[in-house]
Structure 1
Amino acid sequence: MRRRAPRPMVDHRAAADSLRSQPGVWLPVADYRNRGTADRMALAIRNGRPVGRNSIPYLPAGAFEARLEFTDDGTRIHARYIGTEVTP
């Protein structure tokens, strides 16, 4: 059985910086083979929880939105920076 090549590590700090530089614009953050992992990562982005090694780039909580896109190879996370003011 042939194994798939490992995917590169996601630089969440660079992704968060890119999102902050373009407020309101949806940008791809990462691709995951496992939907459950993508769901957990998207939730961490929305809630400002730590992602990556020793990294908390998506603060403050609620400043980012995240959504999932299903691809042929798995699930892609798209996110956007909406700022510190969260309106209902």
Structure 2
Amino acid sequence: MARWKKRPTANHTRRAEDMRRNPGVWVEVGTYNGRQSAQSTARHIRLADRLPQYTPVGAFETSMRLTDDGAVLYARFVAAPGRCPICEGTFETCRCGGAR
């Protein structure tokens, strides 16, 4: 029976910092054995759920590519620094909840 290939754990703190320093640039988050794992991580990134490095909600976009090695997950920072990605208010004045 074939076993899953052991992959290094993604360093989300470092990846999120890289993306914030280079807004709009796609950064490889990691390669996952299965599509579902990559999709789940992508959702956590977009919603900043279980991965607080990617706050505020909606500040990051994700994309996935299937390869022979697995599912490669990419993300990029798209929010304007100091602004809520939903209402464009400052994080101090945001009332829509996007700056949580």
Q: TM-score, normalised by structure 1?
A: 0.84
For residues 25-64 of structure 1, what are the structure 2 equivalents within 5 Å?
25-51=25-51, 56-64=52-60
Larger Rg: 2
> 2:55 & 2:68 partners in 1: Cα distance?
31
Q: Which residues of structure 2 form unaligned runs of 5+?
A: 87-100
**AA paired with 2:65?**
E
CA RMSD of superposed structures (Å): 1.8
* Identity between Structure 1 and Structure 2 (%): 36
By relative contact order (CA 8 Å, sep 6+), the higher-ranking structure is: 1
Runs of 4+, deviation exceeding 6 Å: none
2:72 match: secondary structure: strand
2:15 matched residue in structure 1: 15
> 2:67 & 2:9 partners in 1: Cα distance?
19
Q: Which residues of structure 1 form unaligned runs of 5+?
A: none
> 1:33 & 1:11 partners in 2: Cα distance?
17
**AA paired with 2:19?**
L
2:25 match: secondary structure: coil
The Cα shift of 1:3 comes to 3.7
